[in-house]
Structure 1
């Protein structure tokens, strides 16, 4: 995939998945603005990203405010002349069950993930529309936003909102030839290392360099951070010009298209539905096959 001449901004790219995305874009020929709240992480990310092949510039800023978003877009334009690609990866975790989650726990995650995605995408859209040559906006979602996850009220809500933003902005920006998609990655990160069934396999892979077992890469769709980067590169490229408004999963050996919410079953009753009517018809009608919720527990093969 050739991104020569393209300019990208990747938020939250000082380490982890964000850095993997920045390096993959650089390896394809793009110039990349990397970003983190930690100056040392930014400096290391610039060096790492440039070593992959392209040019890089670092911006130390906390994503969430309009000012930070404008700084990132301005950096792309001032140092590389334009902006073609935005990847909104910045995020934090403040996991707690509902009754223990504080206002600050909720607000901090929403500010970085949801408001940060909004402010950065808005600034990027303004610039891309002014340039008049289209563009690519890649929003980073999560399985938690698609299905919910225990202890992640704030994170799941933000990621669900991000998927909705992708669908909305795909409509609004279509005439400007700007595509918007949500990536739903699963990878061996610090967060997935906390899952007991995954931890020993990830630690062994990091220690020896051996690949993760097939059941993790195929059944669970969990691989390295680099495994998730190819999708971001594709969505940043001209090859994805017809792909927009989608939520696309990636991880390990799996590539998946997530379904959008839609009516599953409909019942009609002349005159409408009273509470008693619904109770009488629910179990054998619309509610006969309720939807599942939550991320399914990993299922390692027997003996692992």
Structure 2
């Protein structure tokens, strides 16, 4: 097992994607600190890992504060003697369009996703550096952070910020031999259950059947387990040369995302005044130069069209 003897923290790992990551890390030999805000859910996750033959402990606390970050690192050291891997998966959603989004909606998402990633990574890196551990930092991004999504101002800001921090941390952590990467998962979750476009894929997954190839191959949309292998690989010694990257995983697809880079470049002696830009706007900002926003989904084949359903109240969505 490639992670034998190593210790990992996975935030937000009581269920869903986080639990899949924790179970795969344990399957590869790591002892895992489970983190969730629900004590029963965290206990169930620990029991599931132990039933598989792994080692796990739980910390029941909401990420965001420096105090909880310290608690998580200390729990790993107290329970298993060390820390080697941090996966910052914890997150919440408060989806609303801009004019309906309150300060509280914005702050709650930023606190868990962005500040929670910052505080936990800062604490873990301090431990790695002090103890000479070539640790692994694995953060969780989103396609929304890469391309935007309607109704997710707060979530898009947090996920884009996480990738920006990872690029920075890769430089700051290099001398210590610590890597930092962002994983961009595309998988069936409680959130995607509410999206009609993914209905047939989610229903197949819930029945224990393979998702249709259109979803797995053409869209790169799959299960939590399809992402977990990448998490475990980035946590391993084999990934020592991979840092500062945003890597997408979903279904049958793996992607390395580029840095934001210029689509076009134009020069003008003396610089670009308002009049100069106005006079050349058709060339400078032509259709080929302007970039798309949001995810662009392929048309669903007829056999995968969602079935009409009675309108139901929308459930609370938690990634």
- What TM-score, normalized to structure 1? 0.97
**Correspondence for 1:31:** 31
**Correspondence for 2:79:** 79
1:197 touches 1:298 (CA, 8 Å); kept in 2?
Answer: no
How far 1:296 sits from its partner (Å)? 1.3
How far 1:200 sits from its partner (Å)? 3.3
**SS of equivalent to 1:35:** strand
How far 1:286 sits from its partner (Å)? 5.2
How far 1:303 sits from its partner (Å)? 3.9
1:3 touches 1:25 (CA, 8 Å); kept in 2?
Answer: yes
2:11 touches 2:18 (CA, 8 Å); kept in 1?
Answer: yes
**Matching of residue 255 in structure 1 with residue 254 in structure 2:** yes
- 1:212-237 CA-partner distances (Å, limit 9, x unpaired): 00000011111111111000000000
**Matches of 2:78 and 2:265, distance apart in 1:** 54
Equivalence map 1:105-254=2 (5 Å): 105-207=105-207, 209-254=208-253
Aligned residues: 303
1:24 touches 1:52 (CA, 8 Å); kept in 2?
Answer: no
How far 1:282 sits from its partner (Å)? 2.4
**SS of equivalent to 1:32:** strand
**Matches of 1:20 and 1:204, distance apart in 2:** 18
2:219 touches 2:297 (CA, 8 Å); kept in 1?
Answer: no
2:10 touches 2:18 (CA, 8 Å); kept in 1?
Answer: yes
2:263 touches 2:289 (CA, 8 Å); kept in 1?
Answer: no
How far 1:289 sits from its partner (Å)? 1.9
Structure 2 segments unaligned to the other structure (5+ residues) = 305-319
1:20 touches 1:226 (CA, 8 Å); kept in 2?
Answer: yes
2:65 touches 2:115 (CA, 8 Å); kept in 1?
Answer: yes
How far 1:284 sits from its partner (Å)? 1.3
**Correspondence for 1:278:** 277
**Matches of 1:69 and 1:105, distance apart in 2:** 22
How far 1:49 sits from its partner (Å)? 2.0
1:29 touches 1:53 (CA, 8 Å); kept in 2?
Answer: no
Q: What value does the CA root-mean-square deviation take over the aligned residues?
A: 1.1
How far 1:201 sits from its partner (Å)? 3.0
**Correspondence for 1:63:** 63
- 1:129-169 CA-partner distances (Å, limit 9, x unpaired): 01102110000000000000000000010000000011000
How far 1:298 sits from its partner (Å)? 4.6
**SS of equivalent to 2:34:** strand
- What TM-score, normalized to structure 2? 0.93
**Matches of 1:201 and 1:184, distance apart in 2:** 19
**Matches of 2:54 and 2:111, distance apart in 1:** 31
C-alpha spacing 1:298/1:61, structure 2 compared with 1 (3 Å)? farther
**Matches of 2:31 and 2:301, distance apart in 1:** 43
Q: Bigger shift: 255-264 or 113-122?
A: 255-264
How far 1:125 sits from its partner (Å)? 0.3
**SS of equivalent to 2:226:** helix
2:264 touches 2:289 (CA, 8 Å); kept in 1?
Answer: no
**Correspondence for 1:292:** 292
Structure 1 segments unaligned to the other structure (5+ residues) = none
**SS of equivalent to 1:79:** helix
